[in-house]
Amino acid sequence: MTTEQNRLNPEKLTPTDRSQIKRLPQRGEYDRQVIYQILDEGLICHVGFEANGQPFVIPTAYGRIGDRLYIHGSPASRMLRTLKKGIEVCVTVTLLDGLVLARSAFHHSMNYRSVVVFGTATWVESEAEKGEALKAFTEHIIPGRWDEVRQPTPQEVAGTLVLSLPLTEASAKIRSGPPIDDEADYALPVWAGELPLKFMALSPIPDPRLTLDVPIPGHVENYGRSM
C-alpha cells in the first residue's frame, strides 16, 4: 500500500506507523527533496539494529543515489554482516543549526534538521551498482574528488561490502526560529534568542609527503556543506 501511494505521489512519502511524526507533528516533513537535501548535507549517519538480542547504534559514512541510501565497510564488520542477513534497520541523520536560548531553563532547545529512515538493507552484488555506490561515497564527502583520485582496484572493490537501503519509509523533522517561552516569562529581564551554528572547514593541511608542485584543488580550498 505504501509503495503504491508513494508511486502515485512521487513528491512526498506517505507516512507509515513508524515514520509518522507523533511528537510535535507540525515539525514533520515528508517531501522527498527536503529529506534528500538533509541527507546530502550530512556526513555521518547512525545505524540502529539488533543482533542476538542486543541493540546497537553505529555511526558510519554513507552516500545517496536517487531513492537509495548506501553504507559500506569491511566484510568483517559486525554491523554489515548482520545487516546483510536482511534484518530491519533504522538510520538517522541530524544537522544542528543553532542553540535556542529561552527565558526559562525548561524551554531551551536547538534548531535542527533530522531524517529517520526505516527499512531492510540488502547486499549489493552487482559490480556496476557497487562501483556507483563507491563513487557516491567519495562524492558525498567532497564533490569533485572522484575524478581526481585513483579509482578502486578490483581487490579493493572485492574487499568492500556495500549495503543498500530504499528511501521509501522516511521522514524529516525540523525545528527553526526563536524560543517559545511561557507567556508570563516574556517580561523577564533575561536575554533570549538564537545562537546560529555553522559547519565550516578550516585551512587545508597538506600531507607531509605531498610533493610541492601539487596545488590545492578548488573543491578542497572552497569546501562547504551547505546545499
Q: Is the pLDDT of residue 52 over 90?
A: no
- pLDDT confidence band for 184 (50 / 70 / 90): very high
What domains can be seen in the chain, in order of their start residue? 2-183 (2.30.110.10)
Closest CA to 185 of 127, 123, 107: 107
Cα–Cα distance between 4 and 27 in angstroms, integer?
Answer: 25
pTM flag (> 0.85): yes
pLDDT in tens, 86-128: 888 999 999 999 999 999 999 999 999 999 999 999 889 888 9
Question: How open is the CA angle 59-24-9, to the nearest 5 degrees?
Answer: 80
